[in-house]
Amino acid sequence: MKNYLAFLFCIVALNLFSQNTLKYEDSKETFKASIDNVSWIAGYWVGEAFDGDIEEVWTNPLGNSMMGSFKLVVDNVIQFYELCTISEENETLVFRLKHFHNDLKGWEEKDEMIEAPLVKIENNKAYFHKFTFEKISETELNIYVLFEETTGNETEMKFNYKLKH
C-alpha cells in the first residue's frame, strides 16, 4: 500500500509541476499567429538559475522574427550560451534554439537545432512545444522549459526574469 501511495503521489506531483508547458501534436490544427503577438517578450531580462546568474535578451520584431540570446554565469565563469529565434512562418510561429559552450563551440551538430512549433497563445502566455513564455507584468517574465532526462522522465523548470533597465 505504501508503494502505491508513493507512486500516486509522484504522478500527482508530476502533473502539478508540468502544467505550464504543452507539447505540439502533429495532428492538431496549426495555431495562426504573427510575430507581433509575442512582441512583449522583447527586452533585457535577468534572473537566477543553476546556482548562477542568467541573462536573456530579446530584440523587437523585425523581418517577421525576433532574436534572443541566453547566458549562464556561475562564480563569474560563463557556463554556456544559447542563440534563439522566434520566426513567423506559414501563418504561425516557430521557436528555434542552439546551445554553445563558453568558447562558442556548438552542442548540436552544425545543421541541427531544437525546433519548437507554436501550440497556442492565450492569457499572456505563448506555448511552444516544451517551452512557454509568460508575461507576468511589464517588468517580469517567466519561461518554462520541459527538460527530458537521460532516464526518459521529463521535468519542467521555471526561469523567472526581471526586466533590466
* CATH architecture, domain defined by 2-163: Beta Barrel (2.40)
| Distance of alpha carbon 43 from alpha carbon 6, whole angstroms | 43
Q: What is the pTM of this model?
A: 0.86
The mean pLDDT of the chain is 90
Average pLDDT estimate for 60-79: 98
At residue 157, what are phi and psi to the nearest 5 degrees? -125, 140
What is the mean predicted confidence (pLDDT) over 105-115?
95
113 close to 97: Cβ distance less than 8 angstroms: yes
* Site of grid cell 565563469: 77
**Domain residue limits, the chain:** 2-163
